[in-house]
Structure 1
């Protein structure tokens, strides 16, 4: 037993001289940024906020008219209450001015025949009730006025908050809608198609291709407009020229189709600020090009 105890003690002592093996500290999980909302989600949010501001403006206009009406009512109620309170005070003063009986005999006589103060007292009491009613009406009118003023203040505060949110969403949208310094705003078909085309920047040109990962010039137009809810455009520049309305160069806006060379065998999509997106030719990629770089511009169509 002694040997066993010695061996155990020796083992414990030996263990005491062994370096402690510590578990490595736990590493914090990497912070993953929240995904940014998609542009279409942001646009819907912006549309909803702007609609809400328009509704608040209508409510403000109605409430401001209500404030004016409530002010007039409260002023009239105060004028009426002041008048009734003055009438009551005048009668109360008259009652107070009636001299008391000079002796018991006169007091007994007045109880039988009636005192001049009795009628005044009755009129005073009636006037008091009228004055009280007028004061109540004044209080109610002023309460309604304060309620309306408070509602206007709340609506203005909500409008300010909503306007601030609009500013934030517009900033996010500007980031989402900006391509190489050009921002394409709007939720209409043309603007959405333009952004879809711009989302393909860098995709290769392949003759007769119409997406989703490669395009020729008209294929990019056909695919982008189909994503924006306008399918069925012809995959041929000559036929695209016959779509929609002809537009002069000075009236171009994002989404308009721009055509080049005498035969109009090349087409792109105007994006604004004098630039267009195109799938140029074999060996090239979808890219943004200044219109000024093309001397062969030959018309535009708004589909």
Structure 2
């Protein structure tokens, strides 16, 4: 584990940018950016366009370590270059922003009210490559849609099973059991999820460090015990479909919870903006998300 990166994640104020749209979510991300599907005809062209978008974000003067702790990348982004450096190396060496890598391969079909992760073939090799690229940690996502204790338990146990492999490889896993914001009885789902998280956190070794990425809870500070847990470096929040304004207001109500927004970060960016317009829109987004992450309501 890179000790300088650890100090940034543990001690610096800020939030984590999620730049890891992949697979089926890439066309949607491009469309929000103003790039229609008729602008590309192959998957390779699609990923080239999304890399151009991410490069524009990462190289923007508005995107800096004064407010951003880390950035989560998709594997193809990690393997692509920015100014002759791999993207993850550029983030760390040029920006002092800690790189993370999305490692899951998408979601399985709905069962017991949840979507587990699909199998992750070649995980050991991917983790070894990530370490070579100066990546600090990983991210993997499951989704909880219904109040089903058995399903919620299965999600958390699968997450921790993979997390142990990541810890053994010397990286820090971000465990992401997302709760669908439209889930009925969302607050009850989150109470069960918190208990399952605490139960599994208590099984970790003393020197195991993990992070959690969670939907902003319906009841403020539901996850305070996980934030305070000795094995947890940080708990970050996904925007989960909320607009940036909504997500920021909800985030402010939760002590110690910081953002890791994706769509809410990039929602006002457009391919046709001038650099001045683009950098200003990105700065407005970053300023507001930073403020919500560090300035909490009394």
- Structure (1 or 2) with the greater helix fraction: 1
TM-score bin (small chain)? under 0.3
| Larger RCO, structures 1/2 (Cα 8 Å, 6+ apart) | 2
TM (norm. structure 1) is: 0.21
TM (norm. structure 2) is: 0.21
- Structure (1 or 2) with the greater strand fraction: 2
| Bigger Rg, which one | 1
